[in-house]
Each structure stands twice: as structure tokens, then as C-alpha cells.
């Protein structure tokens, strides 16, 4: 499991390696925010893509790197979305006086996202501690169960608006904030993959019994991976709550969990860049289909049916992909390890 060394990494002091990319990325995000100020649909689309990337990358830490098949990720997203929503609703009328309103909004958004992430991480810990002693299919069904329990609990809680959901959450999410968290989650995932923690996770993935025999505390590492993963799922949920007009239990069903799993598997279990590419493709695919059908039959009811057609197409795509390329698009490799190979192969072919 060689992790390709980034060429520049050796020249950057070790203490700065985690921070430097963030510092470099911040101006880019602010430029993007400024450039997109008049394009609400683009902002919405970018936000959805960003949230999906965070979800896919975070699930990849558990499913891909640790090899533990968890299919209840939407539950943690729900915890994050609702708690961020509640926090923001409570803080709605508060503002930091010495800051401009927009900046003050972002500060409060950050606060509620942190609340969301920490609560989801706590939920992940509570779920992970007992259930990660189970293996394989049993773990899958228990995580699915927890996802469903969270959804039913939310549906039955008065404070969370029952089946109607929460509305009136301030729509303070911004491309810069989504981008920042996308960046952070990718960074954390990559740093974990290359660290000694990550080595333990890979070892558990390859052979749990052997890893245990080599002295890896398997339950401990699995729980840690689970906590990190659910933290980011919670943040993604929090971001989601701040750009959709209403959040309700219907957004966090088994189907949503499956969508995230599909992204991870499509990209290749263990490949962070693969998860990103898959998240982008699978978010844009229905939009592309919609415009395609809209162009084919502008006034017919075909265009209205795209949302219906989306899910069967999704399912067929999954089957065809698994038959054609069971290891996912990238396998465990990252983008920069795969693309050069494709390019050289094509050149040889000519």
C-alpha cells in the first residue's frame, strides 16, 4: 500500500504540512465566492457537490481505508443537520457587533458546524464502541439500523419539528465555507492515510486477524476512524441545513446512505480522489440527465420524469459498473497514480 509521496512535501517543514494547503487554498475560495455572487444555481450546485464530497471522503475513511462496511452514514448527517439547524435558530438574532454582518454570519455558521460535527462524532462514538466488535455483514446491518433509528427518533421529536422538519434556518452557507470544509476533510483523510494511524487502518482492512496478532488495537482504531468519519458527516449535514430551505427526516433515509456508499464504491474503496471524482460525477449526472431530457422533449412530460428516471438509472449504473469494474474506477489508487498510466497506455496504443 504505497502512498505516493508528494514531491514538494519534503521541502515543507513537517509542522506546517497540514496547515500550508489550507493557507494556500483560502484565497482561491474567496475568489470563487466573489465570482459566483450572481449565480445562485451555480452556488447551490457547488454546495451540493461539496457536501457530497465531504460525505464520500469521510465515509471512505471507514469503508475504504478500514474496510468496515458502514451503511448508515445519512444518520450522522441527520444528527449534524438537525443540531446545526437548532444551534443556528437559537443564535439567529445574535451578531458580533464589531464585524460586518456577512463575516459575523460566517462565524456563527462555523460555530454551529462545529456543534454539528462534535455531536455527530459523539453519536459515532456511541454507535461505534459496541457495534464495531461485530464484523462484515453484521456491522453493515447494525449501522443501517442505527441510521434508521436516528431517523425515527428525529421524526418523533417535537423539538425537531417531527415529520415536517426544521424551517427558517438562516441560509448563511457560502461556497467559501463549503470549500473550506471540503478541503479540510480531504486533507484529514489524506493525512490519516499516510500516518501510522492510517497504516493500522490499512492493516485492519487487509486482514483483521493478522492486524490484531501484530498488536494493532483493532477495536480502538475502528472506533477512531468511525468518530472522525461521523464528525465530517455531521459537518456535511450542518452545511446542508444552511443552504436548503427546509430539512426533514425524508432527506436522511436509507436511500441517502446508499447514495454515499455508491460514491465511495464507484470511486474505488480507499481512494480519496476517487471518492471526490465519484461524488462530483454522481451529483452532476442527474442534472445532466435533466437538461438532456429537457432538450429532447421541452414540453412533454418526459422532462418531469427525470427525477423518477434518476433512481433506476442509478441502480442499473451500479450493476453495470460492478460487472465491468468491480474495484471501482480507481481501486485503492489516487488520481495522480492512475491518470499518468492511462495516458501512457493510450500513447502506446497509437
Which residues of the chain form contacts with another protein (CB under 8 A)? Answer: 69, 130-131, 133-134, 136-138, 140-142, 144-146, 148-149, 152-153, 155-156, 208-210, 213, 254-255, 258, 261-262, 265, 269, 301, 305, 308-309, 311-312, 314-319, 322-323, 326
Q: Which of 253, 263, 254 is nearest to 284 (CA)?
A: 263
**Closer residue to another protein (CB): 29 or 211:** 211
Q: How far apart are CA 88 and CA 80, in angstroms?
A: 12
Rounded to the nearest whole angstrom, what is the least distance from the CB of residue 210 to another protein in the complex?
A: 7
State the distance between the two ends of the chain, measured CA to CA, in whole angstroms.
Answer: 31
Rounded to the nearest whole angstrom, what is the least distance from the CB of residue 59 to another protein in the complex?
A: 13
Rounded to the nearest whole angstrom, what is the least distance from the CB of residue 341 to another protein in the complex?
A: 22
Rounded to the nearest whole angstrom, what is the least distance from the CB of residue 325 to another protein in the complex?
A: 10
Q: How far apart are CA 161 and CA 20, in angstroms?
A: 42
**Closer residue to another protein (CB): 52 or 131:** 131
Q: How far apart are CA 208 and CA 202, in angstroms?
A: 9
DSSP letters of 111-125? HHHHHHHHHHHHHHH
Burial class (CB in 10 A: 0-12, 13-18, 19+), 64: buried
Are 181 and 54 contacting, i.e. CB atoms less than 8 angstroms apart? Answer: yes
Rounded to the nearest whole angstrom, what is the least distance from the CB of residue 333 to another protein in the complex?
A: 17
**Closer residue to another protein (CB): 59 or 186:** 59
DSSP letters of 228-273? HHHHHHHHHHHHHHTTSSEE-GGGGSHHHHHHHHHHHHHH-TT-HH
Rounded to the nearest whole angstrom, what is the least distance from the CB of residue 138 to another protein in the complex?
A: 6
Q: How far apart are CA 146 and CA 91, in angstroms?
A: 29
**Closer residue to another protein (CB): 37 or 325:** 325
Q: How far apart are CA 275 and CA 267, in angstroms?
A: 5
**Closer residue to another protein (CB): 14 or 323:** 323
**Closer residue to another protein (CB): 21 or 67:** 67
**Closer residue to another protein (CB): 15 or 158:** 158
Rounded to the nearest whole angstrom, what is the least distance from the CB of residue 31 to another protein in the complex?
A: 39
Q: How far apart are CA 318 and CA 9, in angstroms?
A: 37
Q: How far apart are CA 119 and CA 132, in angstroms?
A: 19
Rounded to the nearest whole angstrom, what is the least distance from the CB of residue 173 to another protein in the complex?
A: 29
Q: How far apart are CA 146 and CA 73, in angstroms?
A: 9
Nearest 5°: the CA angle 8, 269, 215 is: 80
Rounded to the nearest whole angstrom, what is the least distance from the CB of residue 265 to another protein in the complex?
A: 5
**Closer residue to another protein (CB): 23 or 323:** 323
Question: Quick one: cell of 187?
Answer: 486533507
Question: Quick one: cell of 176?
Answer: 467559501
**Closer residue to another protein (CB): 291 or 307:** 307
Amino acid at each position: 500500500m504505497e502512498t505516493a509521496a508528494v514531491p514538494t512535501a519534503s521541502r515543507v517543514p513537517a509542522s506546517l504540512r497540514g496547515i500550508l494547503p489550507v493557507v494556500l487554498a483560502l484565497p482561491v475560495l474567496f475568489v470563487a465566492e466573489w465570482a459566483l455572487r450572481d449565480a445562485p444555481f451555480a452556488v447551490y450546485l457547488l454546495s451540493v457537490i461539496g457536501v457530497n464530497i465531504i460525505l464520500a471522503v469521510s465515509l471512505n475513511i471507514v469503508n475504504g481505508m478500514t474496510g468496515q462496511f458502514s451503511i448508515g452514514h445519512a444518520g450522522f448527517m441527520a444528527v449534524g443537520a438537525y443540531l446545526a439547524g437548532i444551534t443556528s435558530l437559537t443564535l439567529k438574532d445574535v451578531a458580533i457587533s464589531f464585524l460586518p454582518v456577512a463575516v459575523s454570519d460566517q462565524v456563527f455558521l462555523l460555530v454551529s458546524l462545529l456543534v454539528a460535527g462534535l455531536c455527530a462524532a459523539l453519536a459515532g462514538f456511541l454507535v461505534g464502541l459496541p457495534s464495531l466488535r461485530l464484523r462484515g455483514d453484521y456491522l453493515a446491518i447494525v449501522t443501517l439500523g442505527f441510521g434508521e433509528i436516528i431517523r425515527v427518533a428525529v421524526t418523533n421529536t417535537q423539538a425537531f419539528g417531527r415529520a415536517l422538519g426544521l424551517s427558517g434556518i438562516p441560509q448563511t452557507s457560502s461556497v467559501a465555507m463549503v470549500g473550506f470544509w471540503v478541503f479540510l476533510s480531504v486533507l484529514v483523510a489524506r493525512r490519516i492515510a499516510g500516518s501510522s494511524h492510517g497504516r493500522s487502518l490499512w492493516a485492519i482492512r487487509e486482514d483483521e486477524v493478522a492486524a490484531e496478532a501484530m498488536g494493532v488495537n483493532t477495536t480502538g482504531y475502528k472506533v477512531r476512524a468511525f468518530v472522525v468519519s461521523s464528525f465530517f458527516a455531521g459537518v456535511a449535514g450542518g452545511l446542508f441545513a444552511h443552504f436548503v430551505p427546509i430539512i426533514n427526516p425524508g432527506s436522511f433515509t436509507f436511500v441517502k446512505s446508499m447514495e454515499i456508499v455508491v460514491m465511495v464504491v464507484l470511486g474505488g474503496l480507499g481512494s480519496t480522489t476517487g471518492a471526490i471524482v465519484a461524488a462530483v460525477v454522481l451529483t452532476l449526472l442527474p442534472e445532466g440527465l435533466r437538461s438532456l431530457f429537457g432538450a429532447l422533449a421541452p414540453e412533454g412530460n418526459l422532462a418531469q420524469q427525470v427525477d423518477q428516471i434518476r433512481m433506476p438509472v442509478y441502480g442499473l449504473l451500479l450493476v453495470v459498473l460492478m460487472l465491468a469494474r468491480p474495484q471501482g474506477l480507481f481501486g485503492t489508487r489516487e488520481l495522480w497514480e492512475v491518470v499518468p498510466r492511462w495516458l501512457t497506455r493510450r500513447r502506446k496504443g497509437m
